[in-house]
Amino acid sequence: MEQKIQVGIVGATGYAGVELIRILLSHPSAQIAALASVSFEGKQISQVYPAFRGICDQTLVSVEDTISASDVVFASVPHGVSEELAVKCVEQGKLLIDLGADFRLEAEKDYKQWYGLDYKHPALHGQAVYALPELFREQIQAAKILGNPGCYPTSIALALAPAAKAGLISPEGIVVDSKSGTTGAGRGLTQNTHFSECDEAFSAYKAASHRHTPEIQQTASRLFGCPVALTFVPHLLPVRRGIFSTIYTQLVKNVTPAQIQATYEEFYRDEPFVRVLPQGSLPNITNVTYSNYCDLAFVKDEHTGRLILFSVIDNMVKGAAGQAIQNMNLKFGLPETTGLMLVPPAI
Amino acid sequence: MEQKIQVGIVGATGYAGVELIRILLSHPSAQIAALASVSFEGKQISQVYPAFRGICDQTLVSVEDTISASDVVFASVPHGVSEELAVKCVEQGKLLIDLGADFRLEAEKDYKQWYGLDYKHPALHGQAVYALPELFREQIQAAKILGNPGCYPTSIALALAPAAKAGLISPEGIVVDSKSGTTGAGRGLTQNTHFSECDEAFSAYKAASHRHTPEIQQTASRLFGCPVALTFVPHLLPVRRGIFSTIYTQLVKNVTPAQIQATYEEFYRDEPFVRVLPQGSLPNITNVTYSNYCDLAFVKDEHTGRLILFSVIDNMVKGAAGQAIQNMNLKFGLPETTGLMLVPPAI
Amino acid sequence: MEQKIQVGIVGATGYAGVELIRILLSHPSAQIAALASVSFEGKQISQVYPAFRGICDQTLVSVEDTISASDVVFASVPHGVSEELAVKCVEQGKLLIDLGADFRLEAEKDYKQWYGLDYKHPALHGQAVYALPELFREQIQAAKILGNPGCYPTSIALALAPAAKAGLISPEGIVVDSKSGTTGAGRGLTQNTHFSECDEAFSAYKAASHRHTPEIQQTASRLFGCPVALTFVPHLLPVRRGIFSTIYTQLVKNVTPAQIQATYEEFYRDEPFVRVLPQGSLPNITNVTYSNYCDLAFVKDEHTGRLILFSVIDNMVKGAAGQAIQNMNLKFGLPETTGLMLVPPAI
Amino acid sequence: MEQKIQVGIVGATGYAGVELIRILLSHPSAQIAALASVSFEGKQISQVYPAFRGICDQTLVSVEDTISASDVVFASVPHGVSEELAVKCVEQGKLLIDLGADFRLEAEKDYKQWYGLDYKHPALHGQAVYALPELFREQIQAAKILGNPGCYPTSIALALAPAAKAGLISPEGIVVDSKSGTTGAGRGLTQNTHFSECDEAFSAYKAASHRHTPEIQQTASRLFGCPVALTFVPHLLPVRRGIFSTIYTQLVKNVTPAQIQATYEEFYRDEPFVRVLPQGSLPNITNVTYSNYCDLAFVKDEHTGRLILFSVIDNMVKGAAGQAIQNMNLKFGLPETTGLMLVPPAI
C-alpha cells in the first residue's frame, strides 16, 4: 500500500482549519499528521468541536511539531504570520499552502497598502504563486509556496475568466456585488455576527474598501491583459455558508446568449468543479454548499448591453479548504478530484 | 370628538392587507370599517391570523360591502383586478389607494409590455397618480386614485433622488442590485419559499426582467429629466422583512463626500421618514423593520469615480402598507406621520 | 396637561434596556428622563443602536444622574448590583422596578444557593414584592421595590395558575420543557450565540440546574399552597424572540376538556394580556412577538391522564420590559394597558 | 471486481429519496440502478434538484422499471402505497426497505387506529420486521421486508434502551418532548412551512396525537418487557435538519451518574453510530447533521429523582435514509458502516 500524504494544519481550530479536517477525514490518499492551535494546544480537537467526537480526537500540538510531522502544511493564520511559517517550511522542504493573504498579492506595494505591512522575507515571494487551479494550473506545479485564493476572489475570477479571455466584455466599468455567509467572518465573536443581531439582518460592509479588492483586480488584470480597476462591495448574508457574486459587465462584442453559453461551456469543459448552468437557470448557494463546486450562469441584458454574471461557491470549500486540498492533489500528482467529489446535499 | 376615517381593505388576508391592519389598529384618526377577502369571506381575520385574536376579530365580507362602508379603500389584489375596483370607488366617491401595479405606470405601453394587459378603462388612469409622497406630494393632493409605489422602486427612488436632482450623477450606466425578504413574495406557497429550501439559501431571480423595472425607470426618468435605462437585479434573502438596495452610479461632478452628505441631508431635511446616515455608517435592514423609515447612506469610490448608494426599507411598511397609510394621511389633511411613528425594534 | 412619569433606565444598553426604550417611546403618560450605561456613558443611545436614530438620541449618563432625574427607575443589571441601587432609590423615594434576580426570591437561602450571594441589605427585601400583576396584583400596590419576574417563570406561572388554583392538577410530577429565543441570553457575546454556531442549531442547557428553577417553584408553591419540586429544562431556539413552555402535569380531577377550557377562560376573563386559545389551537411564538401577550392552550392526554399546558410570551416584552411597564402603570394608577396595547405583527 | 448492489428508489424526488441518492453516490458497494417518481417521470433528477447537476443526472422512470432493475428497493411513499409495492418486490425476490409507516407497527389494530387503514395483505406483514439495527439486528437478518423506523421513534428508542434494559427507570410516567427540523415535514408545501411564517416561529403540533406514538410505545414496550403508555409531544423547529428529543423518566434504582454513564457506554460500546457524550455535555443537532450519528446524554435530576435523557439525530440520515442504507448493508453482508462514515461538518 502506498504511503499517504502526511498533512499538518496550522490554525486547526479556526473555521478553515476544521473544514480542512472534515474533508481530509474522507480523503483516500492523505491523512492528518498533526494539528496545531495556539489557543487550544493540549486539548483534543473534538473537545473544541464535538461534531468530531470519535472521528477525529487528535490532540492539538505546537506549530513546530506540526511542520516536522508533515509533507504539506496548510496554514490558516492572521496575515503577517504566514511569512514566518513559510521560512520554516521552505527550510525543511515542506510544501506550504497558505489560506491567508500573505502570498496572494504579486505587488508588495498592494500588500503594504491594503494590509499595512512590509514583506519581511521578500525573496520568499518569488517562490510563491497565486494558486487558483482552473486558471493558473501550470504555475502551481513549480511553486514551493501556494497562496490559496480568497473566497470572494475565487467566485469572481471563475465567473469573469471565459468572457474576459474571449474578449466579450470590457475591462472597464465592472461592478461586483457579492454576498457572503457568516462563516467567512470566522470563529471570532463580534456584535454583528451575534445571533440576535445577525439573524434577520442584512447589510453591506467595507464597501469599495475590502481587502480582497486588490486580489480581485490582480486576477482580472491577468485575464484581460491590462490593468483593471473595478468596484467591489461585499454584503453579509444571514446564512452560514456560501458566496453569491453578481457581476455587472459591459459587452463589447455582438454575441447571442447561445454564443456566450458556448464560450463558457467550452472554457470549463474539462474542469470537474465548475458547472455552467443551462440558459435560464440561476445559481443558488444551497446547490453548492459542503461541496467544491462553483456554479456559473449569466444573463444578457439586451436593454443596456450588459452581461450579468452569477457565481456561487461554498466559501469554506471552493473558497478555502476544498480549493487548498485541490491544490495539494495537484502538487502531489493526484487527480484534483481525489477526496473532493463531495455531493452537495439537495436539501 | 372628530369622526374617524372609515377604512376598507380589499385583499385583507394577503400580507400587505394584514400589515395595513396592524398599523391601522394603532392609528388615532382612522378605523377599520370593513375587510374583504375572496378566499376567507365569512371567517374572522383572527382565525386566519391568530396574532390578531382579541385585537381584531372582524368578519371578512364582500368587496361591495367593503367599498360602501369606507371613505378610503386600500386594495391589495392581483394586477388587472384593481381597475374594476377603481371604477366602483370613483362612482361612489371613495378614494382608492391601490397597492398593486395597475396605477403605477404612466405609459399604457409599459403596462402592456410588462403585465400583458391593456387598460380596460383608460380614462381612469388620468385620475390616478404615482404616489410616492417624498417626491410627488403635490400631485397626490389632487388625485382620486393613488398608485402606491412598489417596494423595490421606493427604496431605489429615495436613494437616487437627491443626487439625480442635484446633477451629481449620470443617468447612464446605473446598476441596481436589490435584495428582498420573503414577505415580498406574499402568502402564496412556492417551492423556493418553502422553509426547507429557502432557509440558508440565496439567489437572484428575474434578473434584468423584473416587472418593477419600468416603474424604477419611470421615476428615474422624472428625476433626471431624461429617459433612463438601467439594470435591475433582485435577489431573495432568507429573512422575512426588509429590502436592501445597492445602487451603483457614476459621478459627473467633482464633489467631496462632505458635499454629497450635505446634498442628501438638505434634500430630506423636512422628511420625517427618511434618515440620512452619518458618513461612515451603512444601513441595515434590521434598523428599519416594522417601521416606515427609509435609511440612506453612500460611499464615494474614489478609485472608479462611482457614487454607491445604499437604501433600506421594510418592504411591508414603507414599501407597502406604511406608505399607503402615509398617502391616506396626506389625502385626508392629517400630518403624514399620524399613526406612523412606529419605532423599529433595536433588537 | 398632566405631568408625565419621569422614567430612568439603568443598564439602558442591554437588550431589556433598549426594549424598555422602544415601548416607552410610544407611552402616552411616561417619558424617558435619563438613561444610564456604564459601558457607553457619554455616547448617544442611537450610536449604540442605530435603529433609534432620530427617534431617541439621548446621551447615556451616570447611574446617579439617572436616579435623581426619575420618578421610577428600571434596572437591568447583573445580580448583586440591584441591591445597591435599591438603597439609593428607597432613600430618594424613587420606585425601583428591578428586571434582575435580586428581588425575586423570598427565601434568602434560595438566593444564596442559586446565586452564591448573601443579602447585603436584608431589610430592603421586606419592602420588595414579586411583581407578576395577573397573580399578585394586590401586593404590588404597597411595595417600594418590585422584583420583575423572569421570562421563563412568567410563561410557566401564567399557564399553571388556573389549573393549580382550581385543584385540577397534582403539585407532584410536573415537568417543564421550555424553549427560548437568543435575546434571552442578552447582548454579551458567546460561542453558542455566534451566528455560525447558533443558526440551524438546537440544544438544551443548564438542564435541571437553571437559576430560574427556585423562582418557578416559589410561584408554583404559592399557587398550589404547598411546596412544589419540579423539573425544568430550558433549550436555546435559533430565533431572536419568544419563549415556548410545554408543561406536563397530572390531572387529579375528572374533568372534560370543556371544563378545563372554562376554568382557564374564567380565570383570565378580565386580564387584557392573557389570551386563552380556543380548544384545538396551539400557540406559536410568532403570534405574540413584539407584544405583551401571553397565549395559553392545553391538551388533555386521555391516554395517560395528563394535562399538557402550552404557553408563549415574547421574552423581551411580557418576559421583561413589557411586564415592567405594566407594573409601572399599576403603581402609578394608570390602566395597566397604557402604552402596552402593542399589536403583534401577523407576519 | 465485485458486482455492486443495484439500488432502486421509489419516491426518489421526495426529501428522503434525494437524501438516499446523496449518500448512495459515495457508497463504494452500491449504485443507483433506477429512480422512480410519479410526479416527475421523464425528467432528470438534477432538473428537480439542481444540486445534483453533473453528479446524478438519471432520468426518473416508472415504479415497475425501478423494481425490475434493482436488488433492493427503497420506498418513500405515502402510507397505504407500500403494501402494494411489497407484493411486487416479494414476488420478484427483491428486498424492500420501506421508509414509510406500513411495516412499522406489529399490531394491525394500531395501524388501523392511527392510519385509518386495514392491512390489504396481512400475510406480508409476517415477512416484515421493524428494522432498528442497534436494537433488533438479529430479526433483520431473516426478513424480506424491512420497516425502516420513523425519525422521532429512532431518536427516542436509542435513548431509552440502555436504561430500560438495565431496569434503571420506570416504564410509567415517561414524557417525551421532541423538536424536529422542517425537512421532517417533507417537500409538500404548507402554510406553516412557508418561510415567512416558519422562520422565527416555534410551536408544538399534534400534541399527544402524533402517528409516531404507537411506534414509540411499541419499541418501549419491547425494551421494558411490558406495555408502555407515554406522552409524546412533537414541536417544529425553524431549522432544516435535526431532531432533538428530551425524555423525562423516573429512576427506580439508586444509581450514581457514573453508573448511569457506564451503563450507556457499555450498551453502545460496539455501535459505530451511537455516541454517548461524556458527563456534563449535552448534545446539539448541529453535531450530527449530514451524518448517521445519534448523540446521547443524560442528566440525573437529584431534586426529583428523574433521569432526563437527551438524544439527537439528523432526521434525514439516522432518522431515514442513513438508517435505511445501514439496513441494506446489514442485509447484504457488508459492514454496517459501509458508505456511512459521513463526517458531520463542525461548522
What Å distances lie between residue D46 and A337, D54, D59, D89, CA to CA?
A: 21, 8, 9, 27
Out of A36-45, A170-179, D114-123, least confident range = D114-123
Residues of chain A with pLDDT > 70, as a percent, come to 99
Q: Which residues of A touch D281 (CB under 8 A)?
A: 50
Q: How far apart are CA A106 and CA A131, in angstroms?
A: 12
Interface of C with A in 98-157 (CB under 8 A): none
Q: Give yes or no for A282 touching D (CB within 8 A).
A: no
Q: How far apart are CA B180 and CA B154, in angstroms?
A: 13
Angle subtended by helix axes A133-142 and A151-165, to nearest 10: 100
pLDDT of residue C58: 98
Return the CA Rg of chain B.
20
Reported as a single tens digit per residue, the pLDDT across C108-148 is: 999 999 999 999 999 999 999 999 999 999 999 989 999 99
Cβ–Cβ below 8 Å for C343 and B22:
yes
pLDDT at A1 over 60: no
Under a CB-based contact definition with an 8 Å cutoff, are residues C37 and C66 in contact? no
Q: Per-residue pLDDT averaged across A125-135, rounded?
A: 97
pLDDT of residue C332: 97
Q: Which residues of D touch A316 (CB under 8 A)?
A: 347
Subunits close to D (at least 3 CB pairs below 8 A): A, B, C
- Burial of D270 by CB count in 10 Å (0-12 exposed, 13-18 middle, 19+ buried)? exposed
Cβ–Cβ below 8 Å for D285 and C179:
no
Q: Per-residue pLDDT averaged across B176-195, rounded?
A: 98
pLDDT of residue C304: 97
What Å distances lie between residue A207 and A164, A210, B261, D160, D301, CA to CA?
A: 24, 7, 17, 54, 53
Average pLDDT of chain D to the nearest whole number: 97
pLDDT of residue C51: 98
**3-class DSSP state of A210:** coil
Residues of chain B with pLDDT > 70, as a percent, come to 99
Q: Give yes or no for A187 touching C (CB within 8 A).
A: yes
Reported as a single tens digit per residue, the pLDDT across C63-72 is: 999 999 999 9
From C209, C221, C237, select the one nearest C174 (Cα to Cα).
C221
Subunits close to C (at least 3 CB pairs below 8 A): A, B, D
Reported as a single tens digit per residue, the pLDDT across C44-87 is: 999 999 999 999 999 999 999 999 999 999 999 998 899 999 99
pLDDT at B1 over 60: no
Q: Per-residue pLDDT averaged across A93-109, rounded?
A: 96
Q: How far apart are CA A280 and CA D310, in angstroms?
A: 47
A 10 A CB-CB count for D122 gives: 10
Q: How far apart are CA B43 and CA B45, in angstroms?
A: 6
From A79, A92, A64, A151, select the one nearest A119 (Cα to Cα).
A79
Reported as a single tens digit per residue, the pLDDT across A32-63 is: 999 999 999 999 999 999 999 999 999 999 99
D56 is catalytic: no
**Dihedral (CA of C30, C32, C36, C37) sign:** positive
The pTM is what? 0.98
**D157: β partners:** none
Q: Label residue B243 by pLDDT band (50, 70, 90).
A: very high
Reported as a single tens digit per residue, the pLDDT across B213-237 is: 999 999 999 999 999 999 999 999 9
Q: How far apart are CA A33 and CA A20, in angstroms?
A: 13
Q: Which residues of A touch B229 (CB under 8 A)?
A: 303-304
Average pLDDT of chain A to the nearest whole number: 97
pLDDT of residue B258: 98
Instruction: Tell me which of D56, D89, D151, D294 is the catalytic residue.
Output: D151
pLDDT of residue A225: 98
Residues of chain D with pLDDT > 90, as a percent, come to 98
**A288: β partners:** none
Cβ–Cβ below 8 Å for D299 and C244:
no
Q: How far apart are CA A305 and CA A250, in angstroms?
A: 6
Question: Closest Cα of chain B to C51: distance in Å?
Answer: 4
A 10 A CB-CB count for A314 gives: 31
Q: Per-residue pLDDT averaged across C315-340, rounded?
A: 98
pLDDT at C193 over 60: yes
pLDDT of residue D79: 87
Instruction: Tell me which of A151, A198, A226, A294 is the catalytic residue.
Output: A151
Question: Closest Cα of chain A to B296: distance in Å?
Answer: 12
Average pLDDT of chain C to the nearest whole number: 97
Q: How far apart are CA C15 and CA C13, in angstroms?
A: 6
Which residues in D153-304 belong to E strands, given as ranges?
175-180, 203-204, 231-236, 243-250, 274-276, 294-301
Q: Label residue B184 by pLDDT band (50, 70, 90).
A: very high
Sheet with D203-204, strands from edge to edge, namely D203-204, D231-236, D175-180, D243-250, D306-313, D294-301, D274-276
Angle subtended by helix axes C213-224 and C108-115, to nearest 10: 150
Give which of B15, B18, B195 to mutate to test D binding, by max D Cβ within 10 Å: B195
Instruction: Tell me which of C56, C89, C151, C294 is the catalytic residue.
Output: C151
Under a CB-based contact definition with an 8 Å cutoff, are residues A149 and A101 in contact? no
Q: Label residue B79 by pLDDT band (50, 70, 90).
A: confident
Cell of C202: 438546537
pLDDT at C203 over 70: yes
Reported as a single tens digit per residue, the pLDDT across D52-77 is: 999 999 999 999 999 999 999 999 99
D252, HSE (Cβ side, Cα atoms, 13 Å): 14
Give CA torsion, residues A173, A179, A183, A186, to 10 deg.
Answer: 40
Cβ–Cβ below 8 Å for A316 and D290:
no
Give CA torsion, residues B103, B106, B112, B114, to 10 deg.
Answer: -80
DSSP secondary structure code for residue C339 in this structure: T
Q: Give yes or no for C244 touching D (CB within 8 A).
A: yes
Residue type, D239: V
C225: left (phi over 0), alpha (psi -120 to 50) or beta: left
pLDDT of residue C79: 87
Q: Per-residue pLDDT averaged across D242-265, rounded?
A: 98
Which residues in chain D belong to E strands, given as ranges?
5-10, 30-36, 60-61, 72-75, 95-98, 128-130, 145-147, 175-180, 203-204, 231-236, 243-250, 274-276, 294-301, 306-313
Reported as a single tens digit per residue, the pLDDT across B288-301 is: 999 999 999 999 99
Give B126's contacts (C-beta < 8 A, 6+ positions apart). none
Give, for B125, the enclosing helix (H) or strand (E): helix B122-125
**3-class DSSP state of B63:** helix
Report ipTM (2 d.p.): 0.97
Reported as a single tens digit per residue, the pLDDT across C258-306 is: 999 999 999 999 999 999 999 999 999 999 999 999 999 999 999 999 9
**3-class DSSP state of A95:** strand
Higher pLDDT, C1 or A263: A263
A 10 A CB-CB count for D288 gives: 28
Question: Closest Cα of chain D to B312: distance in Å?
Answer: 19
pLDDT of residue A126: 93
pLDDT at D143 over 60: yes
